[in-house]
Structure 1
Amino acid sequence: MDRKGWLGLILCVIGLFAWQWYVISHYGPRHAPKTTQATEPVEGLKLPTTGSGEGANGGVGEIGPGEPLSSRGSLPPEETAVLENAEIKVLFTSWGGAIRSIELKTQRAHGEEMLVLNRFGREPILNLTIGDEGDSLAAYRCDREGKDVVFSRTLPNGVELRRRYRLSGEHEVRLEQQWANPATREIALPRWKLCVGLGEPIHRQDPPASVAANWLSVQGKLGRISLPDFGSAGFLGMQWRGPRSLIDSPKEPMRWVAVKSQFYATILLPPGTLPPDRLVCVREPLLDFPGGGKGQPPAGLKAWASFPDIVLPPGSSLATTFAVFAGPKEYSLLKNLGSGTDRIMDYGFWGWIVKPLLWCMVHLHQILPNYGVVIIVFTLCIKAVFWPLQSAANRHMKEMQALSPRMKELQAKYKDQPDKIQAETMRLYREFGVNPVGGCLPVVVQVPIFIGFYTMLQSAVELRHQSFLWIHDLTRPDTVATLPGIGLDINPLPLIMVGTQIILARMSSPPAENPQTRMMQWMPVFFLVFFYNFAAALPLYWTVNNLVSMGQTYWNLRKPVPTLHRVKKQKASGISLRK
């Protein structure tokens, strides 16, 4: 390695240490404050206690740790009830007559700790507020009718509100809501809203943009509001918008609304006869998030679905049914849910390549039990498809090597005429039938696959907690140790990836004293900073791809340099017309 190469490597290592120091200093661990909750039991219903529940479809149980709902002095003691099946455990509260939290029984947050949606939410999912009530909680009467949980209350204007909950499907809660007007006069209910829940990260290092709210309009337009949208906007020190505390969507009828994190989502599907026409979002700091930090605490995103006014004639009632999906963002699961909910995956333009890649990976896992092995086999299959293309590229490299002496002659002959060198070089390519960009074609073709694989990993919940060799979780960095004192994580896989990429670049590039060529050979070193803390699945894919490419390149380069022959010029054909 020459002096410039060593200088580039040292600068990259210094940048890596500086970034790690910044992360540790701003997001270092601290002890989370303890929270306590005191509620009085209510006759007829039990409050959560330690245990798993009282049955497959209903019972009482604990929903894991989290911040309790803020107590209201004017409210009676909280009553709770639980409905559960094999996939979810739903905790209901009489404060709001809604869903306090949802435990995903087959998903884990950290270690053996179960994952809970709306864990840090200070407002229950489906809490209903009318007009200017804000996010206030009202007291409901709570009853059990068979396997259903029923809440009821009378509004100040005399309207009787009844809310019946039941489980429908593995990840779905169904709400049957009825408004009844017993009066002899017409009653108008002003604009009202339902809390969709709190989208919250699982780890402190989760990408902020992965915490977002989505909606799909009746016209089929997908909308999105994410955490970075609440920050200030500017460029080169010029700020044209300050931080925002509230963002609402354009006013349009919506098929569904949702809040989500990187791998999980809570989706509200309203009835087609009463769709919401606006989504209101706020940024909510998670002050009691486990692990804490010295800098700003992580934040979640809370959203409400806003509905238009309702008018109830005398003695009439209005019944509507809502569905809430709470679970992992598995494409097949969301596709079967219907109503275009699979678009919450946010694949965007690259969906045409992401969906086949995800389908292949999931079906390969039915044959191979380990996802690490699946990624390796998947990479080998892709390389087999592009093997002829890569061989052709290597052949073009050998042709360029055969032309190298002639090109050096041109550079020496026209050293003071760069335009002449370029023109003569292109003439030389045409004369011997050499394509100068032929070696780049495999890279161009495989870029969509790489981007598709990268996009798929952003929300591939199938890879969570999947181990391979020393990797504990394919969706997290493959950290094996941490250097004491400086807090630098040691992630072997990105180092192996960059090492193989450097070797491959030196094998693929012809030897030259051109500074640009040497820079391209050492360019992979700069990737180390970007991919060092990325999900281990991507460097695993890239490393296997590099190893196979190294073997193929070595095999093809062993062949002798071809003897080039001038391409015969084709005679121009034409038709002469005679009078």
Structure 2
Amino acid sequence: MDRKGWIGLILCVIGLFAWQWYVITHYGPRPTQSARKPGQAAQGPAGIQLPHTGSEGAANGAAGVIGSRESFSAPEALPPEQRAVLENAKIKVLFTSWGGAIRSVELKNHRAHGDEPLVLNRFGREPVMNLAGEEGDSLAAYQFRAEGRDVVFSRTLPSGVELRRRYWLGEGYEIRLEQQWVNPATRETVFPRWKLCLGLAEPIHRQDPPATIAANWFSAQGKLGRISLPDFGPAGILGIQWRGPRSLIDSPKEPMRWVAVKSQFFTTVLLPPGTLLPDRLVCVREPLPDFPGSGSGQPAAGLKAWAYFPEVVLPPGSALATTFTVYAGPKEYSLLKNLGSGSDRILDYGFWGWVVKPLVWCMVHLHRIIPNYGLVIIVFTLCIKAVFWPLQSAANRHMKEMQALSPRMKELQAKYKDQPDKMQAEMMKLYREFGVNPLGGCLPVAVQVPIFIGFYTMLQSAVELRHQSFLWIHDLTRPDTVATVPVLGLDINPLPLIMVGTQIILARMTSPAAENPQTRMMQWMPVFFLVFFYNFAAALPLYWTVNNLVSIAQTYWNLKKPVPTLHRVKKPKASGLSLRK
């Protein structure tokens, strides 16, 4: 490697250390707060006691009542809280009489860290589905009763309208709410614009990408909207700032089929009845001082959202009942697809959905045959390489043809070294004369780029790969760290190093006679990938490494063949016919 190559390699290593320092400084673990005393319940924001992870309530969907003695630090005094639990095979839902809503949802088949349960809205200051006026975030006290496997809350509004809220569990991760307004008065009553809280989208790890913490909505016109945590930051370029940080972001006012908040792998989706659609979504950035590791420095942050609904008109002596569906669970394509109303758009694949959806389908169906997702990725990569094997062989043949033309090209380079335009024209003429396509070797790479981007996009929300191990990899959705350098704090991730090493070998095999500095530099370009993929999900470098190994074997086999003898392409004979006016 020449001087420029060494300089490029050194810059890559410096960039790697700089990026690792940035990640540790801004997103790394912080000293935890002092441990609470034994038996003391964890206190969430606003003084709400967080649910214990014990076996509260009754199983199989039956409602269990849990008393509460703590007080809520709100402007108006609230009576003691009552809690109830409904659970099925997938979720355990904790309800509260403060707001007559969902305090939190525990996902039984998923874990946050180790054996720690994964709880949605764990640090939320407001329960999911809390109903409030258009202005203000107040909680109201509801009367509670259990009716079989249903949880029922009720209260009388200042206007005299009775509000009843009945909850029950659907299949899997679905929670149903029947909300009923009853107007006993002899006059018409108008319930003004109101809102429902969607809860808090919060990270699981401090290093979760901030852009994955977001809110989505799907309009009645079929348009997908999105607000994410980075949208609350200042906007600018090259040090020029044209907008400061924002505390609140409002969506366009339009009817919405569904609204949702989501993290990298999980989501809470509200599907309203078709006769009562929300028309506005408001989001705020909410710091999480109680998030593990937030004892000092910049705390983690979540995103809180409310869905706004139009006013409800109640004729004298009438009742209006509407049913809402809440999905609180993983962002699995099949589950979201079954919800209907385009709920699978929550995955937000964008333009690359046409690649990602087949990839997800293939991965999930291969996993039914192969129990390990690491092996699934390897088998899937081998299948892709088998499909494109003829195309890669044709590209290698083009490379051999270019090798046969190399002596003539060197002659042209020496002859026209002071006339670059003339040299380029003569080279193109040489290619045409012998029927050689100089871009023939680029086609396999161009074809595989969409698959690579599809893998990258899929891994942003591939909950199926979460906590799936393979060899030394503990989690395919996280880096394959095996150790950490004590002084530098640099994680040692072997798989990206292997990926870059195989990429360098492949680059040198495909251009062995590189003599100009630019070509030699291109052989070491894969080192730059180390900076971008060093801390990425291990599934992506696993796919790319297997892809490189198969390409190396195929290229070695093709290069063993002798250099072809090129012949000039016969020019078509001019036709003796001519057009006459």
Residue 422 of structure 1, aligned match among 415, 421, 424: 424
The equivalent of 1:399 in structure 2 is: 401
Whether contact under 8 Å (1:59, 1:82) holds in the other structure is yes
Matched with 2:11 is 11
CA contact (8 A) 2:30 2:297 kept: no
TM-score, normalisation: structure 2: 0.94
Deviation (angstroms), 1:502: 0.6
Aligned residues: 567
1:291 aligns with one of 280, 290, 293: 293
Report the counterpart of residue 44 of structure 1 in structure 2.
none
| Change over 3 Å in CA distance of 1:225–1:31 after alignment to 2 | same
Cα 1:38–1:182 change in 2 (3 A) is farther
Cα deviation, 1:19-58, whole Å, max 9, x if unaligned, reads: 222222333321145575599xxxxxxx968326422112
Q: Counterpart of 2:364 in 1: which secondary structure? A: helix
| Alpha-carbon distance in structure 2 between the residues aligned to 1:105 and 1:369 | 21
The 3 A distance-change label for structure 1 pair 302 and 566 is: same
SS of 1:292's equivalent? coil
Q: Percent identity?
A: 81
Check conservation: 2:57, 2:84, Cα contact below 8 A.
no
Find the counterpart in structure 1 of residue 514 from structure 2: 512
Measured in 1, the distance between the counterparts of 2:296 and 2:369 equals 46
In structure 2, C-alpha distance between the alignment counterparts of 1:123 and 1:486, rounded to whole Å? 41
2:102 counterpart residue number? 99
Matched, 1:367 2:369: yes
- Counterpart of 1:209 in structure 2 is 211
- 1:136 positional shift: 1.0
Which one of 62, 78, 90 corresponds to residue 87 of structure 1? Answer: 90
CA gap of 1:286–1:507, structure 2 versus 1, over 3 A, is same
CA RMSD after TM alignment: 2.0
Task: Give a deviation string over 1:228-259, Cα, whole Å, max 9, x none.
Answer: 11111111121111111111110101100000
Give the whole-Å Cα distance in 2 for the aligned partners of 1:85 and 1:205.
31
The one-letter code of the counterpart of 1:542 is W
Q: Secondary structure at the match of 1:220?
A: coil
- Partners of 2:161 and 2:537 lie apart in 1 by 53
Residue equivalent to 2:47:
none
User: Aligned match of 2:61 in 54, 57, 75?
Assistant: 57
CA distance in 1, matches of 2:52, 2:243: 46
Residues 131 and 52 of structure 1: CA distance in aligned 2, closer, same or farther (over 3 Å): closer
Partner Cα separation in structure 2 for residue 499 and residue 286 of structure 1: 41
Q: Which residue of 1 aligns with 2:142?
A: 140
- Summarize the Cα distance change of 1:33–1:265 in structure 2 as closer, same or farther, 3 Å threshold: farther
Contact residue 491 and residue 532 of structure 1 kept, 8 A: yes
Residue of structure 2 aligned with 1:119, choices 122, 126, 130 = 122
Deviations 1:157-205 (A, max 9, x none): 2111110000011111100111111122222221100001111111111
Unaligned runs of 5+ in 2: 44-50
CA displacement at 1:294 relative to structure 2: 4.6
Deviation at 1:436, TM superposition (A): 0.4
1:293 deviation in Å? Answer: 6.4
The corresponding residue for 1:225 is 227
Alignment deviations for residues 537-574 of structure 1 (CA, whole Å, 9 cap, x no partner): 00000000000000111111111111111111111336
Cα distance between partner residues in 2 of 1:492 and 1:61:
51
Q: By how many angstroms is 1:316 displaced? A: 1.5
Match of 2:48 in 1: none
- 8 Å contact kept, 1:69–1:123: no
Cα deviations by residue, 1:206-233 (Å, 9 ceiling, x for unpaired): 1111011001111111111111111111
Question: Tell me, what secondary structure is at the counterpart of 1:161?
Answer: strand
Q: Retained in 2: the 8 A contact 1:50–1:61?
A: no
Counterpart AA for 1:343: R
Task: Report if aligned partners of 1:286, 1:299 keep a CA contact under 8 Å in 2.
Answer: yes
Question: Which of 503, 507, 518 is the matching residue for 1:501?
Answer: 503
**Alignment of 1:30 onto 2:34:** no
Alignment of 1:393-472 (within 5 A): 393-472=395-474
Whether the 8 Å contact between 1:37 and 1:68 is mirrored in structure 2 is no
Q: Which residue of 1 aligns with 2:360?
A: 358
How far is 1:446 from its partner?
0.7
Aligned-pair CA distance for 1:70:
5.5
Q: CA deviation at 1:311?
A: 1.9
Q: What SS does structure 1 have at the residue aligned with 2:180? A: strand
In the alignment, is residue 129 of structure 1 matched against residue 132 of structure 2? Answer: yes
Shift of 1:454: 0.9
Residue 462 and residue 23 in structure 1: after superposition, are their counterparts in 2 closer, same or farther (change >3 A)?
same
Give, in whole Å, the separation in 2 of the partners of 1:194 and 1:53: 25
Shift of 1:6: 2.3
1:97 and 1:152 in contact (8 A); partners too: yes
Give, as a single letter, the amino acid of the residue that structure 1 aligns with 2:534: Y
For residues 449-502 of structure 1, give each alpha carbon's deviation from its aligned partner in whole angstroms, at most 9, with x where no partner exists.
111111111111000000000000000000001111221111000000000101
Distance 1:206 1:398 in 2: 46
Letter paired with 1:421: M
Deviation, 1:7, is 2.3
Judge conservation of contact 1:150–1:162 (CA < 8 Å) in 2: yes
The offset of 1:60, in angstroms, is 4.2
Task: Answer yes or no: is the 8 Å Cα contact 2:121–2:199 preserved in 1.
Answer: yes
Equivalent residues of 1:478, 1:491 under 8 A apart = yes
Cα distance in structure 2, aligned partners of 1:451 and 1:126 = 37
One-letter amino acid matched to 2:95: F
Q: 1:461 to 1:69 in 2, by over 3 A?
A: farther
Structure 1 residues 574 and 274, CA gap change in structure 2 (3 angstroms): farther
What is the CA–CA distance in structure 2 between the aligned matches of 1:33 and 1:130, rounded to whole Å?
38
- Taking the aligned partners of 1:7 and 1:519, their CA distance within structure 2 comes to 10
Counterpart CA distance in 2 for 1:214 and 1:499 is 40
Name the aligned partner's letter for residue 12 of structure 2: C
SS in 2 for 1:54: coil
Opposite residue 113 of structure 1, the aligned amino acid is E
2:198 aligns to what SS in structure 1?
strand
- Structure 1 residues 458 and 577: CA distance shift in structure 2, 3 A: closer
Query: Measured at CA, do residues 56 and 574 of structure 1 come closer, stay the same or move farther in structure 2, by a change above 3 Å?
Result: farther
Alpha-carbon distance between aligned partners in 1 of 2:72 and 2:483, rounded to the nearest angstrom: 38
Secondary structure of 1:366's counterpart equals helix
Structure 1: how far apart are the matches of 2:566 and 2:318?
Answer: 90
User: For the Cα contact (< 8 Å) 1:51–1:61, is it kept in 2?
Assistant: no
Q: 1:477 aligns with which of 479, 482, 496?
A: 479
Conserved? CA contact 2:161–2:183, under 8 Å: yes
Cα pair 2:63 2:150 within 8 Å, conserved: no
CA separation of 1:314/1:552 partners in 2, compared to 1, >3 Å: closer, same or farther? same
Query: Which AA in structure 2 matches 1:135?
Result: D
Q: Any idea what SS the aligned residue of 1:176 has?
A: strand
